[in-house]
Chain A
Amino acid sequence: MKPAPFAYLRPTTLEEALTALAGEPGAKVLAGGQSLVPLLSMRLAAPSMLIDINALPDLGHVTCDEAGVRIGALARHAEVLASVEAAASQPLIARALSHVAHPTIRNRGTTVGSLVHADAAAEMPMVLRLLEGSVDVASVRGRRTIPAAELFAGPLESTLAHDEVAVEAFFPALPAGGGIGFEEIARRHGDYALVGVAAVVTIADGDVVGARVGFVSVSDVPVVVDVTDHLDDPAAAALAELDPAEDIHASADYRAHLVKVLTPRVLADAIHHARTRKQA
């Protein structure tokens, strides 16, 4: 379990990193290493060069304003999870992050890295998609913002070009009248979910005027379903758009069943949250 040979670069400026990345088609960015290093060790990936971004300045931030939460590429899951301001601005971030792996991995793994790793079994890509957030990326060609709806191309595949480094993610704040819910079933605490469900609802005058549900581990890319018009049977509406698959831990039927169990439960939690939440 030792990686194949690779060159290693630890740039101290973003420009240096971007130039190196642009010049080396076989290069990969190394952030927290919690997904990439196991792939290297099992020789499932063999990049010619690792560009370690951990020495880059000014990327470790978790900042909040009225619009929402901005998370720098070097902010660790644990730091995001610990941010009281982030939890106040968008409580779904912390709710979901507490299900991401274990403390030791959260101490090292980055939230932005998790987004661009684009695992449909991972919590944060789905949360970004559900909240309609975005990721800012940089390359020698300039900067751009990728909306969440355009970030996920396929299993473990984001729409970042090879020469792009993700520098920041943006998660919109939960507006007044909004509520969230999250629940997942995993085989062991901290494992990737067999099924995870998150919901965001909007209440106006006591009525649910918006209800969207996002799913983990039941599709190839994070899927979000608008169930505003299906509040009587949101799971059926969701299952029409999901494709639960069988793996060694759960049958497709069981996954579909969990979607049925969790979807109404999480929606009800989100509605309850919206109704009981202290409005700013």
Chain B
Amino acid sequence: MTTKLFGTKVARVEDQRFLRGQGRYVDDLLTDDPRLLHAAVLRSPHAHARITDIDVSDVLDVEGVLAVWTYDDLVDAMAEPLPLLIPHPTLTHGRTQYALAKDEVNYVGEAIAFVVAVDRYVAEDAVSRIRVDYDYLEPVVGIAAARAADRLVHDDVPGNIGARMEQETGDARAAIADAPHTLTLELDIERSACTPMEGRGTVARWDPDTSRLTVWSSTQTSTGVRGCVAAKLGLDLAKVDVITPDVGGGFGVKINHPWPEELLVPLAAMTLGRPVKFTEDRREHFISSAHERAQVHHVEVGFDDDGRLLGLNVEFWHDHGAYTPYGLIVPIITSTQLLGPYKPLNYRVVFESLYTNTVIVTPYRGAGRPQGCFVMERTMDAIAAYLGKDRTEVRGTNFIQPDEFPYEHGLVFQDGRELTYDSGDYPASLEKLKALVGWDEFEQFRAEMAAQGRRVGIGLACYVEGTGVGPYEGAHVHIETSGKVKVATGLTSQGQGHQTAFAQIVADTLGVRFEDVEITTGDTRKMPYAVGTFASRAAVMSGSAIHLASLRAREKALRIAAEALEASEEDLEINDGVVSVRGTDASIDLGTVAVLSNPLRYAFDEASKAATQFSVGDPGKPPVAEDDEPGLEGKDFYSPERSTFANGMHAVIVETDPDTAEITILKYAVVHDCGHLINPMIVEGQIHGGVAQGVGGALYERMVYDEAGQLLNASFMDFLMPYVTEVPTTIDIDHLETPSPLNPLGIKGAGEAGVIPSAAVFAAAIEDAEGFPITAMPISPSELFALRLEHADHTTEAATITGI
């Protein structure tokens, strides 16, 4: 394979369109169709209540209202709870909501009624006229209340415990008991959320003449939505097309499916015989999509004089909200990926996944890893502080070494496969990071700043990320007679630059011009077999599948070209879409090869004349050989044995204002290893975005629920997503490329990496600046100020609290 574009900073072909406002998102679709109807949803204003009556009689009087649905109007599969997408043996008490609440509501924002009207204004007017009688129940808000279980979210789930899962290698508790040193830590991470620029949205159109349903949804899995819509509405799969247009960010929240509206919109379109659109607004997104991150951790660790982890015992409590549609993916990832690049000799982890009367939890970029990384890295820092060692030294002592790969942890990962790392070079990454951030020069810098009355701190955090999880992705490559290459892969795009990165792979593998390649994603008409875009899997899964499918197309092109050129396949090469016999000027365009690949009866243009019955082929043989197909195409699927593990390390230097407790980022450094880079610019863009999102998660964003289960900051005025002014102006990035042996391109995923170590790295740096432990994130200046007061009161006490 010629590696012309692979590995180079090809400018994203998507950007012109996006930056000029020419992206087409769900809300842009069918806007000039006068028959289009709009939906609005009545959502529960209460966190926990029984519904005693719903009165919609005032609604139908509103001019412009066409229909209203409540639970009582749903039949058959629609009247059943939404699917529990990822069952797990330990999820003994999984519960999912109904498309429209049946008898009770379990969080503020749960859908109760669905109104369809001529426009969204009228639909919202109508929603405000629905009267619901409730019997209020006391809500369960937060992990402490869930654990206390004085009240239950679901009557039939004792202790509010959806699942309890334990994994162990060796005997961690015994190892800790025997260890020369031990520490105990309590570590908290609060709720946050993906908050993509575009919320959820669905449009559906039913064609009564052909009995076909077309659904456009802002989703991370069009095949997933298709399966659910067909099953819930009782349609043959072949009658349902799901298309994902441009998506304004997903970050995980759109992998959950079907959302109630993803079913109700098609239902309404079929019932009313008119296209229907639902566009989620910002407040709805906060209260009725998904959150993540809230976990409380109890850590016991035993270690030797070098800081080597002899035993690590982690117990944690995961707040999964009111229902469990996405199973246990998040806490399973925490429980396995908190190990990062380290190899504790004995490890035990146990978690409880708990119900609360709050918005559901599904993976948010990083998906449980930020919490795991926080736990492990805080533990590393605590050990270093206890032993008086450099924090990088303690980490180095515990690293899995380059010659230990593949490294088996003896645990089961989120995909049900063994947790086995494929490759990495952690000591080399750490050396790069130290150089990049100036780790060894920091004490001098600290002294210089202190002389000016300024307070600074440095922190680092390391992570390993299982990427490219299965089961599979596929690709279809079609070379048209124009020589243009049309490629379809089924997973969706949310702005990652798939068009560019995938086209780079095709251009190189096939030997065509980058400009001639067009990639389609997320359209079930083009590729009905697909899984979705999550878990940093698109490059690994679809990238590999596209590579394999391109190889097949190339193979066929060479076969046909060899015949036409009367040359041997081994002597052929393909460059810029032209097949030529190496060292001669005999050549044939791929477009012509495509013509030859498809024996025709009818000539429709000059090119096709060459392929008609009387022009080509051996009259003694069938025009299409028995084991062949017409057309110049390649199709293949990639299904790896297990995930590939990328890794990275971040360091940050912060300044904390001695007076105002404001936290300022002075330097942010990233060393990143995702194997071979398809497009370094795209990978760096992913890192930049991840770091920005991580800054948000560490220093600004949180979900503030009050005791009644009301989300107090359900807007961008009070949910403090950082502006460009809050994120570092520069992020220093260095790459290491340790290829994965698991896929043909040697690549690993890069999508989530940037956000994983944020809580850990900021906590470390703030702790370093302030001199007292930071055990809960996010942290605001107000909270830092409170901690300063607390530690000023207890300076002497605090100095003595170290071991247990």
Interface string of A253-268 (1 = CB under 8 A from B): 1100110010000000
Q: Which of A1-31 contact B (CB under 8 A)?
A: 1-5
The answer to whether A248 and B125 have CB atoms under 8 Å apart is no
Chain A residues within 8 Å of B718, by CB: 248-249
The segment from A181-189, A212-220, A232-240 found at the interface with B is A181-189
The answer to whether A254 and B121 have CB atoms under 8 Å apart is no
CB distance from B635 to the nearest CB of A (A): 44
The answer to whether B125 and A5 have CB atoms under 8 Å apart is yes
Q: Which of B241-292 contact A (CB under 8 A)?
A: 281-283
Chain A residues within 8 Å of B661, by CB: 254
Q: With an 8 A cutoff between CB atoms, is A251 at the interface?
A: yes
Chain B residues within 8 Å of A185, by CB: 660, 662, 781
Count the A-B residue pairs with Cβ separation under 8 angstroms: how many? 63
Beyond the given pairs A185-B660, A188-B722, 14 more chain A to chain B contacts, judged by CB atoms under 8 angstroms and listed by A's residue number, are A1-B283, A4-B125, A4-B128, A42-B283, A188-B700, A188-B723, A190-B723, A248-B704, A248-B712, A248-B713, A254-B781, A254-B782, A257-B785, A261-B659
Q: With an 8 A cutoff between CB atoms, is A144 at the interface?
A: no
Q: With an 8 A cutoff between CB atoms, is B168 at the interface?
A: no
The answer to whether A2 and B722 have CB atoms under 8 Å apart is no
Separation of A1 and B786 alpha carbons in the complex (Å): 37
Separation of A43 and B781 alpha carbons in the complex (Å): 32
Given contacts A185-B660, A188-B720, contact A253 B786 (CB under 8 A): yes
Chain A residues within 8 Å of B659, by CB: 261
The answer to whether B785 and A5 have CB atoms under 8 Å apart is no
Q: With an 8 A cutoff between CB atoms, is B725 at the interface?
A: yes
The answer to whether A189 and B785 have CB atoms under 8 Å apart is no
Q: With an 8 A cutoff between CB atoms, is B726 at the interface?
A: yes
Q: With an 8 A cutoff between CB atoms, is A176 at the interface?
A: no
The answer to whether B782 and A249 have CB atoms under 8 Å apart is yes
Closest 10 CB pairs of A and B: A189-B725, A254-B782, A1-B281, A250-B782, A2-B121, A261-B659, A248-B704, A254-B785, A2-B124, A251-B782
Chain B residues within 8 Å of A2, by CB: 120-121, 124
Given contacts A2-B120, A2-B124, A5-B125, contact A254 B723 (CB under 8 A): no
Chain A residues within 8 Å of B128, by CB: 4, 43
Interface string of B93-130 (1 = CB under 8 A from A): 00000000000000000000000000011001100100
CB distance from B42 to the nearest CB of A (A): 13
The answer to whether B121 and A187 have CB atoms under 8 Å apart is no
Q: With an 8 A cutoff between CB atoms, is B780 at the interface?
A: yes
Q: Which of B125, B712, B782 has the most CB of A within 10 A?
A: B782
**Which of A4, A187, A190, A258 touches B700 (beta carbons < 8 Å)?**
A187
CB distance from B18 to the nearest CB of A (A): 19
The answer to whether A187 and B780 have CB atoms under 8 Å apart is yes
The answer to whether B121 and A189 have CB atoms under 8 Å apart is no
Question: Which residues does A use to contact B, with CB under 8 Å?
Answer: 1-5, 42-43, 102, 185, 187-191, 194, 248-251, 253-254, 257-258, 261
Separation of A5 and B123 alpha carbons in the complex (Å): 12
Closest to A195 in B: B660
The answer to whether B780 and A249 have CB atoms under 8 Å apart is yes
Question: Which residues does B use to contact A, with CB under 8 Å?
Answer: 120-121, 124-125, 128, 281-283, 659-662, 700, 704, 712-713, 715, 718, 720, 722-723, 725-726, 780-782, 785-786, 789
**Which of B283, B725, B786 touches A190 (beta carbons < 8 Å)?**
B725
Chain A residues within 8 Å of B781, by CB: 185, 187, 194, 250, 254
Q: Which of A2, A253, A261 has the most CB of B within 10 A?
A: A2
CB distance from A33 to the nearest CB of B (A): 16
Chain A residues within 8 Å of B713, by CB: 248
The answer to whether B723 and A189 have CB atoms under 8 Å apart is yes
Chain A residues within 8 Å of B726, by CB: 188-189
Separation of A239 and B70 alpha carbons in the complex (Å): 54
Given contacts A188-B722, A188-B723, contact A5 B121 (CB under 8 A): yes
The answer to whether A261 and B660 have CB atoms under 8 Å apart is yes
Separation of A175 and B128 alpha carbons in the complex (Å): 55
Chain B residues within 8 Å of A258, by CB: 660
Given contacts A1-B283, A43-B128, A248-B704, contact A253 B785 (CB under 8 A): yes
Closest to A265 in B: B659
Closest to A4 in B: B125
Closest to B704 in A: A248
Chain A residues within 8 Å of B125, by CB: 4-5
Chain A residues within 8 Å of B786, by CB: 251, 253-254
Chain A residues within 8 Å of B789, by CB: 253
Separation of A249 and B723 alpha carbons in the complex (Å): 16
CB distance from B787 to the nearest CB of A (A): 11
CB distance from B233 to the nearest CB of A (A): 28
Chain B residues within 8 Å of A249, by CB: 718, 720, 780, 782
CB distance from A44 to the nearest CB of B (A): 11
Separation of A185 and B720 alpha carbons in the complex (Å): 15
Q: Supply 27 A–B pairs (Cβ within 8 Å), ascending by A.
A: A1-B281, A2-B120, A2-B121, A3-B121, A4-B125, A4-B128, A5-B125, A43-B124, A43-B128, A102-B723, A185-B660, A187-B720, A187-B781, A188-B722, A188-B725, A189-B726, A190-B725, A248-B712, A248-B713, A248-B718, A249-B720, A251-B782, A251-B786, A253-B785, A254-B785, A257-B785, A261-B660
Chain A residues within 8 Å of B700, by CB: 187-188
Chain B residues within 8 Å of A43, by CB: 124, 128
Separation of A124 and B713 alpha carbons in the complex (Å): 25
Closest to A248 in B: B704
Chain A residues within 8 Å of B723, by CB: 102, 188-190
Closest to A185 in B: B660
Chain A residues within 8 Å of B715, by CB: 42
